[in-house]
Amino acid sequence: MSENRLKISWSSLSRWELCRQKNFLVKQGLSAPGKDVRNFLAGNVVDSVQKTWLDNPVGNMIDLVDEHFEKAIAKSQEKGTIKWRNKNDKKKIHTNCVNATASLQPILEARVLPYDYEPGKWFNQVVKIKDQNTGEIKEVILNGEFDLLVREDDDQFVVWDLKTTADNDYWKKTVGQLTFYDLVVYSMFNQFPKKTGLIQPLCDEQVKEFFFTDRERAEIWSRISAYAHAEWVGDHPPKKDNVGCSFCEVQHSCAKFKRKLFS
């Protein structure tokens, strides 16, 4: 697989839309060390428990939580830092992991175990996009990971994304991600998924299904294409406002702040 081909993940697309300069610098490996990973801890733990249990779905999932929780903390501390909010924060996150896992198991038993499935399905899918500047058809790699790819009895696919948030409105921020996955499935199997959905065991609506239209698919494809075109011409300026810049992991390398330093 050629290393010259542009790779686009959902996270890089989202980051590019937020700030083109940030995305460019992160992809160059210029992130400052010591990024706080506390907010991702519960999600990483429950995802790890899910993968392990689905490889051998016997017993209770909650029995796996303690081991995976401590491993996740150790791994996170190797790569970054965990900034606990208070003395009870670690215990609170552990409790959330236990509660999420306890609610997750019956959902998996009903929605996943009866069918063919693959947890943690990585993809590097080649798609073709026309370069608006040269007219050349170029190959782009859409890459990422499905939390769960399921093939039901009617030979149609379902993509499930696991979220450990308790925010009932968080799903509004994930619709683009699911549409991105919808397009990837079509590219892989020449058929759109039967549905995509969120498994969010800590929310009131624990399973939320989505059925996308051609218009919504065209919109996400347009966003992917815009990203590709900008990258091909090296268009990655900093965003105009400074909202969130003080917490940015690549601020030290950002062209906007370097100019201020020497002005």
Give per-residue pLDDT as tens, 36-71.
Answer: 889 999 999 999 999 999 999 999 999 999 999 999
**79 has pLDDT over 50:** yes
Integer Cα distance of 42 and 38 in angstroms: 8
In sequence order, the β-bridge partners of residue 199 are 162, 207
Integer Cα distance of 31 and 251 in angstroms: 9
**17 has pLDDT over 80:** yes
Task: pLDDT band for 1, please (50, 70, 90 cuts).
Answer: very low
Give the pLDDT score at 263. 45
Give the pLDDT score at 80. 67
The pTM (predicted TM-score) of the whole model is: 0.93
